[in-house]
Amino acid sequence: MIGTALFIFGAVVEAFAYSFPMLLVGSVLMQLAIAVFSSVDQAIAMAVLPDRTDAGRYVAVVAFSQKVPSALAPLIAPVIITLSSSGDTKNYTALYLTGALFALIGGLLIVTRVRSVR
């Protein structure tokens, strides 16, 4: 949840940033959130491997599942920007707020669904 909270805060800062330094602050917060989440995610993934002898195969599956959102986001972002824009003005605020919403949903899913790790 720390990673989720940091990401949401960073996304909101970027959504309403009207200066370059504020944009950098939001970006740093979001990257820090991704680092916090990724380190815990990797530790949990390694702790729940069903068979240590096939660890490479399972790690490859985890790595692939982490790349899917990175591949889909650039395809979804233009749709969000286009649907939320008015006239020639692009609405990046809606993009960042949508990212914050997805982070909140993901964080809540983890908190409510993950009960324990061996």
pLDDT for the residue numbered 117:
62
118, part of any domain: no
23, part of any domain: yes
pLDDT along the chain (118 residues), means of 10: 92 94 95 90 80 80 85 92 84 91 90 74
pTM for the full predicted model: 0.80
**Distance, CA of 4 to CA of 77 (rounded, Å):** 20
How many domains does the chain divide into?
A: 1
pLDDT for the residue numbered 118:
55
As a whole number of angstroms, the longest Cα–Cα distance in the chain is 57
DSSP classification of residue 54: G
Which structural domain range is residue 103 located in?
A: 2-113
15, part of any domain: yes
Q: What backbone torsions phi and psi does residue 85 show, to the nearest 5 degrees?
A: -85, 160
99, part of any domain: yes
79, part of any domain: yes
